[in-house]
Amino acid sequence: MRSFELRFASTRFSSARLSTAAHVVVATSAFAWLSATSTLGAQDAPPSTPPQATASETAPDARKARAEAFLGELEKTATTIDSVSGAITLEKFDALVEETERRFGRIVLDRKDEKRRIAIRFDEFIDGSGRSDKSVQHFIIADGWLCEQDYKNKSFTKRQIVKPGEDFDPLALGEGPVPLPIGQKKSEVLARFDVTETELPLDIPLLGSLRDVAALRLVPKSGTPMAKDHENIDLFYDRMTLVPVGVVMREKNGNRTVARISKPVVNGEVKAEDRALLEIPTPDPKEWAIDVKPLAGSN
């Protein structure tokens, strides 16, 4: 069975720095992708709903202008999301062998003292033939470290990805596990991507149940880190809350990664078992193979 790969969409997490640690896509966070039934805390009034396009407003320039205006709305509401927990489905299509692998689990995000932590724990894997495996993989990004705990192989890897004292947000575009403009300035997104409106893909069943979403397509600009391997990233947001509901990342070789979060809790009470996923564990070295690598020059 091939391991399910999580990719980072950033040169910050180069292979030299991560070594054998997993790379995360989700396409996001992140992220941070919330279903259309999500609600913000009662103290947060819902933002304005992006306008619907009319027949006379479908020209490319108009679609681009609306997309850029929407990025401005996202920048304004980014600070309203302090915690997220929910079920995550991650799907990867391998164009070479024409097979789709899926993972199912939990995602938890928390912001404490203006710093975000994110954890993803996968409990079930389905390979391209449809065979299911209950092996567990647990990923944590917290306090400048990326950790992976593989329960099947009893291995624990911990990589320092940011030196102490450096600012790091695992949801920021180009910084962490999810290529999403959450907590990112509109100007920084537009500096790296051409952004326009798009539509829900009809060929991806995982996103087929989404309703009333705003959809953006991000195309990496020439010369940026993602431009070499990636065709585009589609982001889907609930129109009422302006929170992400799904991600599609397409690579130039035909590979595709899709992510969807369902039944999320946003800015509500995070269950103790979910919050525990954010804590970096200390496995017993008698039972686990442990590999910890700080950055060169870090104390």
| pLDDT score for 174 | 53
Is 235 within the bounds of a domain? yes
In a domain, 152, yes or no: yes
Q: How far out from the chain centre does Cα 215 lie?
A: 16
In this prediction, residues 15-19 reach a mean pLDDT of: 36
SS (H, E, C) 227-285: HHCEEEEEEEEECCCCCEEEEEEEECCCCEEEEEEEEEEECCCCCHHHHHHHCCCCCCC
Across residues 84-95, what is the average pLDDT? 90
The rounded distance, in Å, linking the Cα atoms of 84 and 248 is 20
Rg of the chain on CA atoms, in Å: 19
- Encode pLDDT of 247-256 as tens digits: 999 999 999 9
Residue 236 lies in a domain: yes
Cα–Cα distance, 147 to 158 (Å, whole number): 4
Answer yes or no: pTM beyond 0.95.
no
The tally of domains found in the chain comes to 1
In-domain check, residue 1? no
CATH number at residue 197: 2.50.20.10
| Reported confidence tier of residue 59, pLDDT bands at 50, 70, 90 | confident
> Could you list the residue range(s) of the whole structural domain that residue 86 is in?
11-292
Residue 73, in any domain of the structure: yes
Instruction: Name the phi and psi angles at 244, rounded to 5.
Output: -70, 145
Q: What is the pLDDT of residues 93-147, one digit of tens each?
A: 999 999 999 999 998 988 877 778 889 999 999 999 999 998 899 999 888 888 9
Between 209 and 6, whose confidence is greater? Answer: 209
Highest mean pLDDT among 4-18, 176-190, 278-292: 278-292
Indicate whether 1 pLDDT > 70. no
Q: Reply yes or no on whether the pLDDT at 30 is more than 70.
A: no
pLDDT of residue 164: 80
Higher per-residue confidence, 143 vs 183:
143
297 part of a folded domain:
no
**Predicted pLDDT at 193:** 93
Residue 120 placed within a domain: yes
- pLDDT over threshold 50, residue 211: yes
Instruction: Tell me if 298 is assigned to some domain.
Output: no
Checking if the pLDDT of 196 tops 60, the result is yes
Share of the chain above pLDDT 70, in %: 73
